[in-house]
Amino acid sequence: MNLEIPKKYKGIQNFATIAAKTIFRPVSRKYDVGEHEYPVELDLFAAGLNGMNDGSEGSLGGAATKREDVSDGQVRNGANMANCINIQAMCYGDVGLLLSIPGQGLGNSAISAVANPEQLKRFSKSWAAMAITEPNCGSDSSAITTSARKEGDFYVLNGEKIYVTSGERANAVVVWATLDKAIGKAAIKSFVVEKGTPGMEVVRLEKKMGIRASDTAAIVFTECKVPAENLLGSPDIDIKKGFGGVMETFDNTRPFVASMANGVAEAALERTKQLLEDKINLDYRTPINNVKSVEADLYRLEAEYEAARLLTLKAAWMADNRKPNSLDASICKAKAGRITNQLTLKCVDLCSSLGYSYKELIEKWARDSKILDIFEGTQQIQQLIIARRLLNKSSSELK
């Protein structure tokens, strides 16, 4: 694995960084304070972004490539790598605004992971949110109770989903529902429910600790009829495969969330060094035991950030090269989520009153960072998945 960013992505990385500095960062505080206010500055940007992405590999925060087996032996840097690089650059500006870009939803990755070719084409222009979490079902996605029953050419959905990112603004929602509660997680399928479908209602928007620019909705489904062709992947219940089909979604999205965390960590680390520049002298030739305490703290934070960033690129590279990356996706998500939360809180500490004040964005980044350790699977869930993979244990053997 080459540790350098592929040259073909330098241009789009530079574009994303410029956007982060000139579009996102200047309005970051505005939409943090004005929670649920629509960020109109993103409309023109999204239009240009969609035009730039037409015919290219991936999009910022959007769908990743499916990973069918190939045998040509070629090494690829594809959509997953491009997305991770671009997401980090955008989140250097503001992670909540990245999640608010029209057309760039986490549900798009779900569609990419399990949709058939016809569905990929049909939903290619959708802005899809993803609805998994329920009031009585948090980290254990297999325990969802939202139901889907077959009636002719439709599935009828009933249930409630909470903490749906872009749930109000997106024009479609990928909903996880079970075809048969008695069977368990093997019966869970994902459905694309388009905005305006009768029986689908956004009942509230959540007030949150962080990523306030992003709308986070609670949605209720009451006898909501969805066309049968909107069930992603196969409608058959495969007890042997179990939950594997829909869980492929997370293999795509966890490196993306890790990239969001890396972008926030990069921003906080850079700004902290700027604020402390007259008090520190970062000389990497000096042993860490012979420098100031604050300098030693910064060295350690930088090392942890670099580890998280490189683990994320590895997981993306594996996905692009059709290598099973479930373990590595969880490793990078666990590392980046935990480290970014610890790093941003330490930056608040190091910057003292400025770090805690609205004069700087450091306190905002500390608040934003917590969700990046929670959604797409909490820290505890990631560690459980990693343990199962390393010990070759099933979910029933290691709980």
Instruction: Judge whether 147 lies within some domain.
Output: yes
Question: In this predicted structure, what is the pLDDT of residue 241?
Answer: 58
Per-residue pLDDT band for 58 (boundaries 50, 70, 90) equals very low
What does the pLDDT look like over 27-43, one tens digit per residue? 999 999 999 999 999 98
Instruction: Judge whether 180 lies within some domain.
Output: yes
**366 residue type, one letter:** A
In the chain, what is the straight-line distance between the N-terminal and C-terminal CA atoms, in Å?
33
Q: What is the largest CA-CA distance in the chain?
A: 73
> Rounded to whole angstroms, what are the CA distances from 223 to 160, 161, 200, 226?
12, 14, 8, 9
CATH of the domain at 50: 1.10.540.10
Query: Which tokens in the block code for residue 188?
Result: 């869970």
Which among 174, 208, 230 is the end of a domain?
Answer: 230
Instruction: Judge whether 222 lies within some domain.
Output: yes
- Entry pTM: 0.90
Catalytic residue selected from 248, 304, 360, 376: 376
Give the C-alpha separation, 326 to 48, whole Å.
33
Considering the domain architecture, whether residues 191 and 135 belong to the same structural domain is answered as: yes
Considering the domain architecture, whether residues 362 and 248 belong to the same structural domain is answered as: yes
Query: Which tokens in the block code for residue 215?
Result: 């709308």
The strand ranges marked E within the chain are: 128-131, 147-151, 154-165, 172-178, 188-194, 200-205, 216-227
Q: Is the pLDDT of residue 60 over 60?
A: no
Give the C-alpha separation, 142 to 184, whole Å.
7
Considering the domain architecture, whether residues 144 and 104 belong to the same structural domain is answered as: no
Indicate the number of domains in the chain. Answer: 3
Question: In this predicted structure, what is the pLDDT of residue 52?
Answer: 57
Which among 99, 122, 145 is the end of a domain?
Answer: 122
Closest residue by Cα to residue 302 from 274, 266, 271: 266
**Contact yes or no for 341/210 (Cβ under 8 A):** no
> Rounded to whole angstroms, what are the CA distances from 336 to 240, 291, 342, 370?
32, 26, 10, 11
CATH of the domain at 368: 1.20.140.10
Give the C-alpha separation, 88 to 257, whole Å.
9
Considering the domain architecture, whether residues 132 and 188 belong to the same structural domain is answered as: yes
- 127-140 average pLDDT score: 87
Question: In this predicted structure, what is the pLDDT of residue 396?
Answer: 81
Q: How many CB atoms lie within 10 A of CB 281?
A: 10
Q: Domain of 102?
A: 7-122
Considering the domain architecture, whether residues 373 and 289 belong to the same structural domain is answered as: yes
Q: Are strands 147-151 and 200-205 parallel, antiparallel or unpaired?
A: unpaired
> Is residue 223 among the annotated active site residues?
no
Question: In this predicted structure, what is the pLDDT of residue 90?
Answer: 95
Instruction: Judge whether 297 lies within some domain.
Output: yes
Which among 207, 230, 253 is the end of a domain?
Answer: 230
Beta bridge partners of 130: 174
